[in-house]
């Protein structure tokens, strides 16, 4: 009798165990399918032409009409004066990437001795022509607070434009992007470019975190002599900008040229000094 009861309990226990096992297996299968789907979406390659094309040496169309956060339509060139310009592309409702780029530029900018807008300009241009003034103004206020602790500082400028203006400016800058209709988002690369005061594209920086020294040298090199200490200018002479990495590296041939020039100057000074001594000696005799 006891044995019979024990077998009944054992059968019930086995049925429960099988049921639990089926639930666990089903849950694991669903989880693996979900993970595989998410991984597939995450690893999905970007659409074609969503990348930077480095148009170094080309000139930005400064006559392009852009809209500022006050709703005024002005020429892009009104932000180009006598200093270099940092130009960021993206869109203000971007869920993540644009914010990361802005944070990266803010971090570098806050570490520099030079300040915007006195020494250089920082512009953010939205590729989404449907964004309104409030969205741009809020983004501009947030950036200026993070940069200068003052939303009215006017250090950063967030600009918009018509579809024609967006196409004209992004094509000139080499910023490849694509609207994704299924998600109502834009696929685009990260980074920014540096322009000379006359609109000539000088340097590109890719990614979301940027090297302070490289950005400093890029601004000095693009300032047409306005920015940069003697040390910065010597580094620019001895280093070469790599457009693939967005960094400066020691250029041996430039170092040799600078060294040869300094050697010639030293020899020239030595010869002049000796000639003067000889003349003084002959006059005293």
CB 238 within 8 A of CB 250: yes
Q: How many helices (H) and strands (E) does the chain have?
A: 7, 11
Residues 65 and 73: beta-carbon distance below 8 Å: yes
Q: What helix, strand, coil percent values describe the chain, rounded to 5?
A: 50, 20, 35
pTM given for the model: 0.72
pLDDT at 194: 98
Q: What is the pLDDT of residue 285?
A: 58
Distance CA 145, CA 166 (A): 27
Average pLDDT per consecutive 10 residues, the chain (285 residues; last block may be shorter) = 45 52 46 36 60 96 97 97 96 96 97 95 98 96 92 92 98 97 96 98 95 93 88 75 68 42 53 65 60
Distance between CA atoms of residues 82 and 133, nearest Å: 28
At 184, phi and psi to the nearest 5? 60, 40
Q: What pLDDT was estimated at residue 232? A: 76
Place of tokens 């659409």: 47
What pLDDT was estimated at residue 21? Answer: 47
Phi and psi torsions of 267, nearest 5°: -65, -40
Q: What is the pLDDT of residue 282?
A: 62
């Amino acid at each position: 009798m006891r044995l019979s009861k024990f077998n009944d309990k054992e059968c019930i226990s086995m049925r429960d165990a099988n049921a639990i096992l089926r639930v666990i297996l089903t849950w694991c299968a669903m989880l693996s399918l979900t993970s595989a789907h998410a991984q597939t979406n995450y690893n999905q390659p970007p659409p074609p032409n969503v990348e930077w094309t480095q148009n170094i040496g080309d000139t930005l169309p400064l006559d392009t009409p852009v809209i500022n956060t006050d709703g005024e339509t002005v020429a892009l060139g009104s932000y180009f004066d006598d200093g270099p310009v940092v130009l960021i592309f993206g869109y203000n409702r971007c869920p993540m990437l644009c914010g990361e780029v802005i944070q990266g530029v803010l971090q570098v900018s806050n570490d520099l001795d030079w300040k915007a807008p006195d020494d250089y300009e920082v512009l953010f241009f939205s590729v989404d022509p449907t964004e309104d003034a409030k969205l741009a103004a809020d983004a501009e206020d947030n950036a200026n607070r993070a940069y200068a602790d003052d939303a009215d500082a006017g250090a950063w400028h967030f600009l918009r434009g018509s579809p024609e203006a967006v196409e004209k400016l992004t094509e000139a800058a080499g910023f490849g992007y694509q609207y994704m209709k299924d998600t109502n988002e834009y696929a685009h690369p990260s980074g920014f470019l540096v322009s000379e005061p006359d609109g000539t594209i000088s340097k590109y920086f890719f990614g979301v975190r940027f090297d302070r020294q490289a950005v400093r040298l890029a601004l000095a090199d693009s300032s047409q002599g306005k920015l940069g200490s003697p040390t910065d200018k010597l580094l620019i002479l001895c280093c070469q900008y790599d457009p693939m990495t967005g960094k400066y590296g020691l250029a041996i041939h430039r170092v040799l040229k600078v060294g040869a020039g300094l050697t010639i100057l030293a020899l020239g000074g030595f010869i002049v000094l000796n000639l003067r001594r000889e003349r003084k000696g002959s006059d005293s005799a």
